[in-house]
Amino acid sequence: MLERRDFVRQLLIDRGDLLVVPGLGSATYDVAAAGDHPLNFYLWGAMGGTAMIGLGLALARPDRRVLAMPGDGDLLMGFGSLATIGVKQPKNLVIVVLDNAHYGETGMQPSHTKAGIDLVTAALACRFREARAVSRIEEAADVRKLLHAGEGPILVNARIGAEDTPRVLPLRDGHAIKQRFIEALNPA
């Protein structure tokens, strides 16, 4: 099992111009804990939408790499998105699912992945070019390579521990998060 903060921090080392969309809840806190950045589009809601925001962004900016990082509950809520992404085949999109097999924000109820529903098989069935599960911190460097150079669409099922981590709260004003991102990505 991965320790989520350490794993996300390692993924974002030398992130360069990577565009990052973390899902609501702990994924957003993990990305904030790794260091605030204007090219983070923090989500505080829109559960189920993280992967599709990643797709819209990847299609709009084929010259940049996009990381969408939902939790398992977020991905499951928008499960059809995997099929939609499979149709479009964005080469620059990587989805890293922070899968603790639980709904952390609501009291740690078990999610579908706890019952063995396999996100890797689902992604491959949806014509993702690559899908793999990782559970050891030594694998973070390989995942980081996929983020920057792998041919998408790629899904990485990151099996993280279900331990509680302190909340790290970034910007919450949606207009401010959006405007900061757009200005950083498209300088005047």
Partner 1 sequence: MHSPTTIETSWPDAIHAHFRRVGIRQVGYVPDAGHSRLITLCKDDPQIADVVLTTEEEGVGLVAGAALGGQRAALLMQSSGVGNCINMFSLLRNCGFGCVILVTMRGEFGEFNPWQVPMGSITEEVLRLSGFLTYRIESADMVDDIVGAGCDMAFDGNLQVAILLSQRLIGRKQWTK
Rounded Cα distance between 107 and 19, Å, is 30
Q: Which is nearer to partner 1, 105 or 163 (CB)?
A: 105
CB of 184 to partner 1, least distance (A): 10
Q: Which of 5, 12, 18, 81 is nearest to 46 (CA)?
A: 81
Helices (H), 61-173: 72-77, 80-88, 119-125, 140-149
Query: Quick one: which of 25, 28, 29, 54 contacts partner 1 (CB under 8 A)?
Result: 54
CA distances from 67 to 55, 88, 116 (A): 10, 16, 25
- According to CB under 8 A, which one of 11, 27, 57, 131 is a site residue for partner 1? 57
5 contacts 27 by C-beta, under 8 angstroms: no
Residue placing its CB nearer to partner 1 in the complex, 29 or 42: 42
Out of 78, 104, 150, 153, point to the residue binding partner 1 (CB under 8 A).
78
Is residue 107 close enough to count as binding partner 1 by CB under 8 A? no
Binding site for partner 1 (CB under 8 A): 19, 21, 41, 45-61, 64, 78, 80-81, 83-84, 87-88, 174-175, 177-178, 181-182, 185-186
